[in-house]
Structures are given as C-alpha cells and as structure tokens.
Amino acid sequence: MSRRSRSREVALQILFQDDLNPCDPRGDALPFLKQRLKNADDLLSFSVELIDGVRGHQSELDSILENLADHWSVSRMATADRNILRLAVFEMLFLKTSHRIAMNEAIELAKRFGSAQSSQFINGVLDRVWQEKGQEIVVAEQPGEKDTETQKPGNTPLNDTPNNPNHFS
C-alpha cells in the first residue's frame, strides 16, 4: 500500500466515524491520525486536508452524488460507500487529483471496507461523476502518472488556526 493510500484509508476511518457519531467531539481525530500514520507529517497533512475538505464541502459533495447516482439517495448508501465516494469526488473536483488515481484509490478502499458489490457501485458512480463533471476539472494528466504528489511542510491546516468549526487541532 502506498503512503498516500494509507492517508486515504485513515481519513476514511475518521469520516466513517463522523457519519455514525455526528455529535461526537472531533478532538479525538488528531491523536488517532498521528498514531495510525506514525507521526509522518506529509501523511498527516494529506489526511487532514482530505478530512477537512470533505467536511467543509459535504453538502456540495452529497448533492453531486444525489444527482449522479441513479436510483440511490446518499442516505440509502452504505456508510463506507458514501464516504469513499465523498473522498474520491472531493479529490477529483477540489484537489484536482487525476480521476484515474482517485477512482483507483476509491475502488481499492471499497474492496477493503465495503461489501462484495461496493467496488462495482463506486466505480459506476465515479465514472458517472467523471463523465458529467470531468470537463470542469483541469488536470494535466501524463501517461503512466503515479500518485507521487507531495504536500509542502508548513502549508497544512494543522499549522494555522482557521475559524472553521469542522477543523480539528
């Protein structure tokens, strides 16, 4: 498993917890992230960016999923599936991660955390998102690209104090 895949996995676990326990305080997330990611600053930064991004754009992400997941409301989706989809759509639309990488990572998460049919469901929905929203995404993809993006130290939500109530520190 790549390092960034590990960050996505841990971010998914936090988002899954958020979904099931929306009233729980979010202060426990940072110690969990640090422990699971072995205090690796770059992985921690990426996970926090994913978590804060999905939390901050959740209504928009859910609206996209509602409109593009035929015959499925977000509330009817399995908890793991809906959070995997939120992560992947956030990465594609807001972080400008290559759709190939975002889709592949989401499918792998679905195989690990979802049901037997989750990977096919996730693939179908994300393909539809890409078909409908892909023209809005400006991504310079190169053949054979890899998930090698790095986060610059000192440029993370953990290092600033935003007034965002969804941000944890």
* pLDDT tens, position by position, 67-88: 888 888 999 999 999 999 999 9
Mean of pLDDT values over 105-125: 96
Structural contact between residues 50 and 91, judged by C-beta atoms closer than 8 angstroms = yes
Domain residue ranges of the chain, discontinuous segments joined by +:
3-135
* Residue 29: predicted pLDDT: 83
The pair of structure tokens assigned to 147 is 């998930």
- CATH code 1.10.940.10 for 3-135: yes
* Sheet strands (E) in 22-144: none
Return d(Cα 126, Cα 108) in angstroms, integer: 13
Mean of pLDDT values over 142-152: 41
